[in-house]
Amino acid sequence: MRVLIRDVPANVGSTVTVSGWIHRIRELGAVSFVLVRDRTGIVQVVYEGGVEFTLESVVTIFGDVVENPKAPGGFEVKATHTDVLAPAVADLPIAVNQDPDAVGIDAILDNRIVSLRNPKIRSIFTVQSTILRLFAEFLRSEQFTEIKTSKLIGTGTEGGTGLFSVQYFDDTVYLAQSPQFYKQTMVASGLERVFEIGAAYRAEKHDTPRHLNEYVSLDVEMAFIENENDLMDLECRLLQHIVAGVNTEHHDILESWGIEPVDPEAIERIPRISHDDAKEIVSTALGRRVFELNPESERVLSDWARTEHGIDAVFVHGFPRKKRPFYTYPDGLKTRSFDLIFRGLEITTGGQRIHEYAMLRDTLPKFGLTENGLADYMQIFRYGCPPHGGFAIGLERLTQKLLGLQNVKEASLFPRDRRRTRP
Amino acid sequence: MRVLIRDVPANVGSTVTVSGWIHRIRELGAVSFVLVRDRTGIVQVVYEGGVEFTLESVVTIFGDVVENPKAPGGFEVKATHTDVLAPAVADLPIAVNQDPDAVGIDAILDNRIVSLRNPKIRSIFTVQSTILRLFAEFLRSEQFTEIKTSKLIGTGTEGGTGLFSVQYFDDTVYLAQSPQFYKQTMVASGLERVFEIGAAYRAEKHDTPRHLNEYVSLDVEMAFIENENDLMDLECRLLQHIVAGVNTEHHDILESWGIEPVDPEAIERIPRISHDDAKEIVSTALGRRVFELNPESERVLSDWARTEHGIDAVFVHGFPRKKRPFYTYPDGLKTRSFDLIFRGLEITTGGQRIHEYAMLRDTLPKFGLTENGLADYMQIFRYGCPPHGGFAIGLERLTQKLLGLQNVKEASLFPRDRRRTRP
């Protein structure tokens, strides 16, 4: 019966069976020290003489657990017998047992199948799995229903640009940029509160550390709101739940990445500033007039919020109409919309949506759209839709920022960018 | 402050605010009875005289809660004031407040945006949301990690047929048929146990009540198994958890669909029969020799299992090599693979995978494949991969069968088939 490595210390004085990967080999002639890795940890195994297996081979080891203050964790296994379940070829393209900080992002991604074996790299996805759980857990506790909607659509949510086309039998369809229309359908259907965890696609040509062409969108939509403040309130409570959970469950991983945990209490202090005020703050900080918020501005605003409010996050609301999609609820020349900038990066876009049929119909021409072209979408509003809004968090960006990663691609198991379609 | 409809009875004698959709209107001259629907239920609202709103309009009603044994649920709201938040146009393409059994599947799907408002139709997706939660909940309790992998791949998992192609900048890529290679990568990475909830695509031309061209695949993969029995054991425990949860939380929905709940205890009795024995059983039942298991056979096998074992589900294992993908672990001319047939429909395909590099290399030519063509995949095994296997459950098929729906498309919010790419 296999004993997991984290349970080895509880078996001191006993004979155990341990299975895992050969993580490190140190042959000293009379004795060899071998580190073995499984999903729960790493243990030292001691062999008399040399060993005949290679790094990364998968083994099952039978041996006796003894205390040894010099061994990692204070315990080791004295091997009596070893079965090699799967030998590894000795030409690893990158080292698995070294700090990945010494390896460039391209080497890590080009050799993804091997680099994901590195415990520190893999730990990113342990945290990501927890984020997925905490996101759903919080929303379910607030009576949200999880939905799964099609990613193959006739036209884009935000117009026809930036779409990947799919040959669908004799038709051409597109990969969805967001589940926006479907979220709204389900709000109007009477579910009122829905969330979706699903892939989103952007055919954007730029290849930057901020962008992925395929990412996981954590989408939320809620009916019977007053305005966008209800959504920011909801997102704060959601982020508190996520941050508190990650801090508690993955303290060791945060530490290994050298990142300070976010204080869940501080999330209540995230300032909410208008788009106009944000431009003022950035202009003042940079000593020159800015007319748009760009990546540099996002970093400046985060720094400002950390100094002024003790948390490097800021909600920017009141974006001008022409900067937001047609379905955004207007407020004069502005909109009831917001972004959340966290640690220098926009991780959320959200807002109240237009729910009145007549208002939507009058809005379409201003965006070069027609009622005919959006016939299915218009049905949502033709038959009574409550006031509503929502937001979406990029899973990889949130993961990146919680762990302090340099590049969002590090937070995607198999990232897709301009050049990268494999593995 | 809005009161949810399920909480109306607790407010008898008080004035409440209720928000929702106009579900039914009965005008009797001196008085009108109106049913109002929100995400938690339906309540009767009484108006003096006639009413001026239409079916499906979204309203906020202020009124007094009184007991009335004749009202649905024993309570009603005497309206004092009503705000129409969003009026509905009075040309509903299909009735929202009638039993959907009277409406054909095409009318339901062609008018999906309206038909999803029907409480009975919507209840399918309430159950589906719970299945998603229970699936993840069980696997997490067994130390599985949730992963999200790319759906844009260079080549198909099971060869190049049945793939939708995507124009990806200057390249052509394909929509993934399954996350098979990525699940195996993550098992070999050291996570050992992974699951993924994600879209899967099959460019199959047939348009049947069993098929979707886009579906949600509930994927599981696990290391350090002995053989395929470990996987069937795991799936039984998983299904027990799902079924027990659905029975407890959605007893009323199961009843409204007229379907008998599955007994979680009976899942332990699901028989495991070989592919050869399955053909024998079907041949005997039909009085003629069958050489393949087809949809008719699946119904026969379910009936047989119900008669013999008290549950209409059966695992069929030991499929011939030529009927399974190249990566299936061989067992002579057979394989360590299985299907689960539930209520006459295959809802799972699974099996142990080849983990030995040399065995896999020798297998490729038999399937017309080359090591070069699968260079990324071969890396998983080149560097040591534990014995492992997994399975996938079709979310829509499982939902369909738990509720006794006639057509799998009913269990997809926005189904994609040969003809259907909208809404």
> What's the pLDDT tens digit per position in A195-240?
999 999 999 988 899 999 999 999 999 999 999 999 999 999 999 9
Residues of B in contact with A421 (CB under 8 A): 152-154, 168, 171, 173
A115-172 residue pLDDT tens: 999 999 999 999 999 999 999 999 999 999 999 999 999 875 555 678 999 999 999 9
d(CA A298, CA A278): 9
Q: Given this model, what pLDDT does residue B157 score?
A: 53
Whether the CB-CB separation of B353 and B359 falls below 8 Å is answered with no
Q: Report the residue of B6, B22, B39, B175 to disrupt the A interface, i.e. the one with the largest count of A CBs within 10 Å.
A: B39
Q: Given this model, what pLDDT does residue A160 score?
A: 61
Q: Which of A219, A224, A227, A159 is nearest to A349 (CA)?
A: A219
Inter-chain CB proximity B86 and A140 less than 8 Å: no
Q: A285 CB contacts (<8 Å, ≥6 apart)?
A: A300, A303, A304
- Partner residues linked to B422 by β-bridges: none
Instruction: Give the gap in angstroms from C-alpha B352 to the nearest C-alpha of chain A.
Output: 15
> What does the CA dihedral A406, A408, A413, A415 come to, rounded to 10 degrees?
-120
Domains and their CATH numbers in chain B: 5-86 (2.40.50.140), 112-411 (3.30.930.10)
Instruction: Give the gap in angstroms from C-alpha A289 to the nearest C-alpha of chain B.
Output: 36
Inter-chain CB proximity B386 and A56 less than 8 Å: no
φ/ψ of A42, rounded to 5, equals -130, 140
Inter-chain CB proximity A175 and B182 less than 8 Å: no
Tokens at B351, concatenated: 């099996």
Whether the CB-CB separation of B395 and B216 falls below 8 Å is answered with yes
Using the Cβ of B21 and the Cβ atoms of chain A, whether some distance falls under 8 Å is answered with: yes
Q: B170 CB contacts (<8 Å, ≥6 apart)?
A: none
Q: What is the mean pLDDT of chain A?
A: 96
Residues of A in contact with B153 (CB under 8 A): 421-422
Q: Given this model, what pLDDT does residue A161 score?
A: 72
Q: In whole angstroms, how large is the CA radius of gyration of chain B? A: 26
Q: What is the DSSP letter of A415?
A: -
Inter-chain CB proximity A116 and B186 less than 8 Å: yes
Place of tokens 């962008």: A211
d(CA A109, CA A97): 16
DSSP helix/strand/coil, A209: coil
Pick left, alpha or beta for residue B367 (phi over 0 → left; psi -120 to 50 → alpha; otherwise beta). Answer: alpha
Q: Given this model, what pLDDT does residue B160 score?
A: 61
Using the Cβ of A193 and the Cβ atoms of chain B, whether some distance falls under 8 Å is answered with: yes
Q: 10 Å Cβ neighbour count for B151?
A: 25
Whether the CB-CB separation of B377 and B219 falls below 8 Å is answered with no
In A27-86, the residues whose Cβ lies within 8 Å of chain B are: 37-39, 56-58, 85-86
- Partner residues linked to A79 by β-bridges: A63
d(CA A198, CA B214): 13
Using the Cβ of A1 and the Cβ atoms of chain B, whether some distance falls under 8 Å is answered with: no
Give residue A309's identity as a one-letter amino acid code: H
Q: Which of A323, A302, A303 is nearest to A314 (CA)?
A: A302
Q: What are the CA-CA distances from residue B202 to residues A118, B171, B175, B292 (Å)? A: 34, 20, 8, 22
Inter-chain CB proximity A113 and B166 less than 8 Å: no
pTM: predicted TM-score of the whole model, two decimal places: 0.97
In A227-286, the residues whose Cβ lies within 8 Å of chain B are: none
Give residue B69's identity as a one-letter amino acid code: P
- Partner residues linked to B146 by β-bridges: B195
Inter-chain CB proximity A57 and B145 less than 8 Å: no
Helix (H) or strand (E) holding B36: strand B31-38
**pLDDT above 80: residue A54:** yes
Instruction: Give the gap in angstroms from C-alpha A253 to the nearest C-alpha of chain B.
Output: 15
Using the Cβ of A24 and the Cβ atoms of chain B, whether some distance falls under 8 Å is answered with: no
User: Complex ipTM above 0.90?
Assistant: yes
For residue A195, the chain B residue with the least C-alpha distance is B129
pLDDT along chain B (423 residues), means of 10: 97 97 97 98 97 98 97 96 97 94 93 97 98 98 98 72 92 95 98 98 93 98 98 98 98 97 97 98 97 96 97 98 96 97 98 97 94 93 98 98 98 96 92
Place of tokens 């006031």: A387
Q: In whole angstroms, how large is the CA radius of gyration of chain A? A: 26
Inter-chain CB proximity B421 and A216 less than 8 Å: no
Q: Given this model, what pLDDT does residue A206 score?
A: 84
Instruction: Give the gap in angstroms from C-alpha B313 to the nearest C-alpha of chain A.
Output: 26
Whether the CB-CB separation of B46 and B80 falls below 8 Å is answered with no
Residues of A in contact with B54 (CB under 8 A): 384
Whether the CB-CB separation of A418 and A205 falls below 8 Å is answered with yes
Q: 10 Å Cβ neighbour count for B193?
A: 21
| Cross-chain CB nearest to A37 (options B85, B190, B380) | B190
Q: Given this model, what pLDDT does residue A92 score?
A: 96
φ/ψ of B120, rounded to 5, equals -70, -40
In A318-377, the residues whose Cβ lies within 8 Å of chain B are: 355-357, 376
Interface A-B: count of C-beta contacts within 8 A: 257
Residues of A in contact with B377 (CB under 8 A): 423
DSSP B152-185: EESS-BTBSTT--EEEETTEEEEE-S-SHHHHHH
For residue B185, the chain A residue with the least C-alpha distance is A113
In A148-177, the residues whose Cβ lies within 8 Å of chain B are: 148-154, 164-169, 171, 173, 175
Place of tokens 């009843």: B255
Helix (H) or strand (E) holding A122: helix A119-141
d(CA B385, CA B376): 14
Q: Given this model, what pLDDT does residue B194 score?
A: 98
For residue A202, the chain B residue with the least C-alpha distance is B168
CA angle A382, A388, A393 (to 5 degrees): 125
Residues of A in contact with B188 (CB under 8 A): 113, 117
d(CA A109, CA A94): 11
Q: What percent of chain A has pLDDT over 70?
A: 99
Helix (H) or strand (E) holding B46: strand B41-48
For residue B155, the chain A residue with the least C-alpha distance is A422
Tokens at A32, concatenated: 């060899």
Inter-chain CB proximity A147 and B169 less than 8 Å: no
Q: What percent of chain A has pLDDT over 90?
A: 96
Residues of A in contact with B383 (CB under 8 A): 56, 88-89, 92, 113-114, 117
